Structure 1
Amino acid sequence: MSVRLNLVLSDELNREIDKAAADSETNKSEILRKALQLYLAARDGKQRGLKLGLVEPKTEKLQTEIIGL
């Protein structure tokens, strides 16, 4: 079963999603599905006391902690 959602985006966010879809050779729906999955994973991690961040692959050093999700 699937659900259809209506979503209102700013022009700027819509352009960014269009660009991300083109860059990854996919479509907006797939970009938004992945974004929601990432959000849910971050929320689950936060509930378990974990943090979300971007890590430098070679040094494994945290470059950016993502907050506010």
Structure 2
Amino acid sequence: MPDTERGAVQSQASEKIRVSLDISPELYSKLQSLARDIHGTKSDVLRKSLALMDVAVQAKKSGKKIGIADRSDQLTTEIIGFEY
């Protein structure tokens, strides 16, 4: 089995890595709430969050801005904090 980070265990049969992490009760509550909101699991929330973070970081590296647009594609909110 290849080396893994501390707290991560790889299962060769399923090609997945189990990760253990410490988070605050407030963050855990938010994770549960988001899972309910998307009708998914906490793992689904983390996977989707990582995908969104990846898109945001790549956009920022390309000199683009990240934001939220309304239904008419008007940018209403710029999201900051993706500096690397």
TM-score by length of 2: 0.75
Structure 1 gap segments, 5+ residues each: none
Aligned-residue RMSD, C-alpha: 1.0
Residues 1:4 and 2:18 are matched in the alignment:
yes
Which one of the candidate residues 35, 38, 52 is aligned to 1:38? 52
Which residue type is aligned with residue 14 of structure 1? Y
- The corresponding residue for 1:68 is 81
Higher relative contact order (CA 8 A, sep 6+): 1
TM-score by length of 1: 0.89
Q: Which has the higher helix share?
A: 1
CA radius of gyration, larger in: 2
Structure 2 gap segments, 5+ residues each: 1-14
1:3-40 deviations in whole A, cap 9, x for unaligned? 22111111111111101111221110000000011001
Number of residue pairs matched? 68
Identity of aligned residues (%): 37
Q: Which has the higher strand share?
A: 2
Which residue type is aligned with residue 33 of structure 1? R
